[in-house]
Amino acid sequence: MRYNIAEPSIFMPTSLIEALAWKERNPHATVYGGGTYLLWNEAGRLLHLPGSILSLQNIKELNRLGRTETRLDVGATVSIQRILRAGPKVLSPLLAEALESICPPSVATMATLGGNLSVRDRCMASFPLMHVLDARCELRSFRGTRWVPVTGLRSADGKLQMGTTELITRIQIPMEEWNFYIYRRIGTFPYGITADSLILVIVGKIDRGMLTEFRFAIGNFSSRIYRNRDLETLLIGARLPLGKSKDLKEFLYAVQEDLKNWNFIPSSMQMERILHILQVTLSNPFQYGS
Ligand SMILES: Cc1cc2nc3c(=O)[nH]c(=O)nc-3n(C[C@H](O)[C@H](O)[C@H](O)COP(=O)(O)OP(=O)(O)OC[C@H]3O[C@@H](n4cnc5c(N)ncnc54)[C@H](O)[C@@H]3O)c2cc1C
């Protein structure tokens, strides 16, 4: 492969403060996390690099991974593979499953969660799960730091709410106990983006046989994900398992109508899959626990 070195300027700072100061002066420079999304479609003989690149790879502060009793702290450049290597003592089975589904193992050695959440025009594979788990991102610029929940990382019309001089520096993921959960990729291929790629995330809590918390989201790699909190509350307080109850039928009908309104699911077959997974999960959630 030949490299198209039409003089891209690549800055590789070793400290975060240097990186932020440089980004302040070069707001339109492309941030390079693991580079796996940026270089994904570079199949030609020439590698087309953006004119100005800020590489985060040598910044130690961004490469930390920590776990407390209640949350996981992931530095923006920690690779997906490194998070996975932390193992079951650190990760929940749901998180491990979702991280494994982000990209092929060979790519996961470089790919980062920070990069996955920062893609401007698409909600990538981790987005629906981070949304549902109430994860939050630390955004830093030379001018200051702010924490933004993933639920607020995009506007209603899908625009990434990150300034051109801001970086995602850390992601905090609450480690709550969910009594049942599903992370499912639906579509022709296990990885990559095709017209039929969907991601469905379902989590719920049960107390004394009653549904006390329920969240679900669907991603289709567009700039928005599907989530409707009003629908999530419809079944709260219901006795489980729901089996073939009227409540469940009404819930599924409401979801179907809402998804049609959103024009979010590519085909009727995909719609059936989504509704089927929701139905099977909710009719007996006890089989999907940890
Ligand atoms: C074969 C293959 C299959 C793949 N399949 C999938 C898939 O199925 N699902 C999926 O989600 N992804 C997939 N990917 C894409 C990619 O691996 C992941 O999305 C990965 O998590 C991106 O992380 P990265 O660090 O490599 O991002 P990068 O490529 O470095 O960056 C992605 C975007 O985020 C910006 N950015 C990166 N880090 C930061 C930061 N800290 N702050 C601000 N902006 C930042 C970059 O400027 C760029 O716009 C695939 C890639 C390959 C090569």
Ligand 1 pocket, residue 115 CB under 6 Å: yes
Ligand 1: nearest atom to the Cα of 30: 47
- Other Cβ atoms less than 10 A from the Cβ of 243: the count is 11
Ligand 1: nearest atom to the Cα of 112: 25
Cβ 123 vs Cβ 224: under 8 Å: yes
Ligand 1 pocket, residue 165 CB under 6 Å: no
Cβ 26 vs Cβ 54: under 8 Å: yes
Q: Which of 12, 22, 28, 36 to mutate to test the pocket of ligand 1 (most atoms within 8 A of CB)?
A: 36
With b for 16 or more beta-carbon neighbours within 10 A and e for fewer, the 50-71 pattern comes to: eebbbbbbebebbbeeeeeeeb
Domains of the chain: 1-46+62-176 (3.30.465.10), 180-288 (3.30.390.50)
Ligand 1 pocket, residue 128 CB under 6 Å: no
Length of the chain as a residue count:
290
Ligand 1: nearest atom to the Cα of 120: 49
Ligand 1 pocket, residue 218 CB under 6 Å: no
Ligand 1 pocket, residue 119 CB under 6 Å: yes
In this prediction, residue 249 has a pLDDT band, given cuts at 50, 70 and 90, of very high
Q: 49 CA distance to ligand 1 centroid (A)? A: 15
> What are the pLDDT digits (tens) for 128-164?
999 999 999 999 999 999 999 999 999 999 999 999 9
Say how far apart CA 278 and CA 250 lie, in whole Å: 12
> What are the pLDDT digits (tens) for 77-113?
999 999 999 999 999 999 999 999 999 999 999 999 9
Least confident interval from 22-31, 41-50, 217-226, 270-279 = 41-50
Ligand 1 pocket, residue 81 CB under 6 Å: no
| pTM across the whole model | 0.94
**What per-residue confidence (pLDDT) applies to 6?**
58
Say how far apart CA 93 and CA 97 lie, in whole Å: 6
Q: In what order do the strands lie in the sheet with 225-226?
A: 180-186, 198-207, 210-219, 225-226
Q: 101 CA distance to ligand 1 centroid (A)? A: 13
Which of helix, strand or coil describes residue 189?
A: coil
Ligand 1 pocket, residue 31 CB under 6 Å: yes
